[in-house]
Amino acid sequence: MPVKKLKPITPAQRFRIVNGFEDITHRKPEKSLLEPKKRTGGRNNKGKMTTRHIGGGHKKRYRVIDFKRDKFDISAEVKSIEYDPNRTAFIALLEYKDGEKRYIIAPSGLKIGQSLMSGPKASPEIGNALYLSDIPLGTIISNIEMSPNKGAAIARSAGSFAQLMAREGKFATIKLPSGESRLILVTCMAVIGVVSNSDHQLLVSGKAGRSRWLGKRPRTRPVAMNPVDHPMGGGEGRASGGHPRSRNGIPAKGYRTRSKTKFSNKFIIERRKN
């Protein structure tokens, strides 16, 4: 889907690159699938700020997404493809033969009026959800479960996908978006195809105010702080910084933070590339 570069008629529009939204077919969401979404402003239940750089932003309502795709062997028609303010990917509204409506993460190439299905009887076509045991090897997949019946957890953001590499016994080998190869049970579900809105990474906001609309507050650079506030603070003039690290001293580049005794380590065949 193409992006648009705006004419520089204002300073904010000079570098602005916006989404074309040509795939979007419907502007108003399905009311029965909306829920209220409360904002915290980064505060906990005692009113104390526990996460910085959060606050403000436009009011949103949550779209209830069907990550499990557990309505088996009933065909559903794609009614619309919509924008979701809570995620980078687009969402698709499905209407099943029995009248029930559900939202799913829209895969790239999904069309209005297309018929989708999930379960063992579904064919390995774009948008259908199948068990990893039923998907042909080499297929590009997304919205992958990590545990059976738990719902999709891997490859859900815009433009992301994984690949089914092999099957042996009760495990399938998946090459993840990060480059990591991992074993996942063949009884887990996955959706055929790439997640929609792959041009999301090309967008440029153009001004600071657009980040405020998204609920992001300004962030102070660590090298501009004092030594009491950050390990990278202090120094005379611009002679500051040191080794890149977080506020609590954890190195930012190349330092492994994953536990060596983590239970799921045995399922990782090849670590992601640094």
In a domain, 212, yes or no: no
As a whole number, the mean pLDDT across the chain is 94
Residue 137 and residue 64 share a domain:
yes
In a domain, 131, yes or no: yes
Residue 228 and residue 102 share a domain:
no
Domain total in the chain: 2
Residue 138 and residue 72 share a domain:
yes
CA distance to 82, 87, 194, 198, per residue, from 107 (Å): 12, 14, 5, 10
Which CATH number fits the domain that encloses residue 243?
4.10.950.10
CA distance to 17, 61, 85, 92, 254, per residue, from 13 (Å): 8, 28, 21, 30, 37
In a domain, 207, yes or no: no
Residue 17 and residue 150 share a domain:
yes
In a domain, 215, yes or no: no
Residue 158 and residue 196 share a domain:
yes
In a domain, 210, yes or no: no
Confidence bin at 38 (pLDDT 50/70/90): very high
Report d(CA 238, CA 219) in Å as an integer.
Answer: 19
Question: Which residues pair with residue 95 across a beta bridge?
Answer: 77, 101
Residue 154 and residue 238 share a domain:
no
Residue 92 and residue 193 share a domain:
yes
Tokens of 148: 């059976």
pTM, to two decimals: 0.91
Taking only the tens place, the pLDDT of each residue in 190-225 is: 999 999 999 999 999 999 999 999 999 999 999 999
In a domain, 86, yes or no: yes
Residue 128 and residue 61 share a domain:
yes
Residue 239 and residue 192 share a domain:
no
In a domain, 211, yes or no: no
Residue 76 and residue 123 share a domain:
yes
Confidence bin at 1 (pLDDT 50/70/90): low
In a domain, 229, yes or no: yes
Closest CA to 34 of 87, 99, 103, 97: 103
Which CATH number fits the domain that encloses residue 45?
2.40.50.140
For the chain, what is the radius of gyration of the CA atoms? 22
Range of the domain at 265: 224-274
Confidence bin at 242 (pLDDT 50/70/90): confident
Residue 121 and residue 252 share a domain:
no
Q: Which residues contact residue 134 at a Cβ distance below 8 angstroms, ignoring those fewer than 6 apart?
A: 120, 122, 124
Q: Which residues contact residue 274 at a Cβ distance below 8 angstroms, ignoring those fewer than 6 apart?
A: 254
Handedness of CA 120, 124, 130, 136 (dihedral sign): positive
Tokens of 57: 């932003």
Taking only the tens place, the pLDDT of each residue in 62-112 is: 999 999 999 999 999 999 999 999 999 999 999 999 999 999 999 999 999
Taking only the tens place, the pLDDT of each residue in 108-141 is: 999 999 999 999 999 999 999 999 999 999 999 9
Position 202 scores a pLDDT of 94
